[in-house]
Amino acid sequence: MDDSDSTLAATATGIEAEFDGRWGIWLSDTGQWWATRRQPLSADDLAAGCVPYLQADSPDELSDRIRDEEALTTRDKTNRARQRDMDRSNQDQIPENTDRL
């Protein structure tokens, strides 16, 4: 392994560490940087627009794309939590059946 290979490997390892190992990173033979999720996507993740693989021309661009992708997941989880809270709140406001008939 020459110095450029070591630098590329260190760059990939650095990006993986930046995202706590949630993504596997590599540089393809075509010079494109790739990221793959290390955990499967849920149906909710897919519905939010998440994808299992990302591609970019540079390490910085790939990191930006991962941040954007993770924001989708975070935003979706936040929205689902809000919806659950609203549903619970609405359940508390439903009057009980008084059997007045």
Question: What are the pLDDT digits (tens) for 31-90?
Answer: 999 999 999 999 989 999 999 999 999 999 999 999 999 999 866 566 655 666 666 676
Residue 73, domain member (yes or no): yes
Residue 30 main-chain phi, psi, to 5 deg? -90, 0
Q: What domain range is 61 assigned to?
A: 3-89
Q: Output 14 or 100, whichever has higher pLDDT.
A: 14
Domain membership of residue 61 (yes or no) is yes
Instruction: Confirm whether 30 is domain-assigned.
Output: yes
Residue 99 in any domain: the answer is: no
The answer as to whether 97 is a domain residue is no
* Predicted local confidence at residue 73, as pLDDT: 80
The pTM of this model reads: 0.73
Q: Is residue 70 one of the residues assigned to a domain?
A: yes
14-33: pLDDT as tens digits? 999 999 999 999 999 999 99
Question: What is the per-residue pLDDT for 14?
Answer: 98
Domain contains 82? yes
Within a domain: 69: yes
Domain count, the chain: 1
Alpha carbons 53 and 21: distance in angstroms, whole number:
14
Compute the distance between CA of residue 76 and CA of residue 11 in angstroms, rounded to an integer.
Answer: 30
Q: Which residues contact 72 (CB under 8 A, 6 or more apart)?
A: 45, 48, 49, 50
Instruction: Quickly tell me which residue has 């059997």 as its tokens.
Output: 99
pLDDT at residue number 6 = 92
Q: How confident is the model at residue 13 (pLDDT cuts 50, 70, 90)?
A: very high
CA distance 53 to 24: 10
Residue 95 has pLDDT above 90, yes or no: no
